[in-house]
Amino acid sequence: MTIVAAADGSALGNPGPAGWAWYVDENCWRAGGWPHGTNNMGELMAVLDLFVSTAHMPDEPLHILCDSQYVINSVTKWMPGWKRKGWKKSDGKPVLNLELLKEIDAALVGRKYTFEWVKGHAGHDLNEAADDRARAAATAYQAKREPNAGPGFPGAGTDNAKNPSETPVAAPAPATVPAPAQAALIDEAEQLDLFSALEDEPDPAYSTGANDALKILVALERELMDPNVRADAAKVAMLLHKDFAEVGASGRIWSREETITALGGEEPGRATLEVLTLDQVDAETALLTYRSTEPRGSVLRSSLWRRDNGRWQIRFHQGTPEA
Q: Which residue ranges form the domains of the chain, and what is each CATH number? A: 3-208 (3.30.420.10), 212-321 (3.10.450.50)
pLDDT of residue 149: 95
> What is the average pLDDT across 252-272?
84
Residue 246 catalytic? no
Among the ranges given (116-120, 157-161, 239-243), the one the predictor scored with the smallest mean pLDDT: 157-161
Residue 157 has pLDDT above 70, yes or no: no
Instruction: Please tell me which residue in 67, 128, 221, 223 is annotated as part of the active site.
Output: 67
Instruction: Please tell me which residue in 16, 36, 42, 43 is annotated as part of the active site.
Output: 43
Residue 98 has pLDDT above 60, yes or no: yes
pLDDT of residue 151: 95
pLDDT of residue 250: 81
Residue 8 catalytic? yes
> CA-to-CA distance for 191 and 95, rounded, in angstroms?
10
pLDDT of residue 6: 96
14 and 2 in contact (C-beta within 8 Å)? no
pLDDT of residue 227: 85
Instruction: Please tell me which residue in 49, 131, 223, 246 is annotated as part of the active site.
Output: 131
Residue 131 catalytic? yes
> CA-to-CA distance for 116 and 207, rounded, in angstroms?
9
40 and 185 in contact (C-beta within 8 Å)? no
20 and 100 in contact (C-beta within 8 Å)? no
Nearest to residue 75, comparing CAs of 86, 85, 64?
Answer: 64
> What is the average pLDDT across 157-177?
33
39 and 51 in contact (C-beta within 8 Å)? no
Where residue 159 falls among pLDDT bands split at 50, 70, 90? Answer: very low
Q: C-alpha angle 274/5/105, rounded to 5°? A: 85
Residue 169 has pLDDT above 80, yes or no: no
Instruction: Please tell me which residue in 121, 123, 159, 251 is annotated as part of the active site.
Output: 121
pLDDT of residue 177: 38
61 and 219 in contact (C-beta within 8 Å)? yes
Residue 56 has pLDDT above 70, yes or no: yes
What separation, in Å, do the N-terminal and C-terminal C-alpha atoms of the chain show? Answer: 33
113 and 62 in contact (C-beta within 8 Å)? yes
pLDDT of residue 167: 27
3 state DSSP class of 114: strand
Residue 197 has pLDDT above 90, yes or no: no
pLDDT of residue 268: 66
Residue 128 has pLDDT above 90, yes or no: yes
Instruction: Please tell me which residue in 8, 49, 199, 246 is annotated as part of the active site.
Output: 8
Instruction: Please tell me which residue in 9, 19, 37, 310 is annotated as part of the active site.
Output: 9
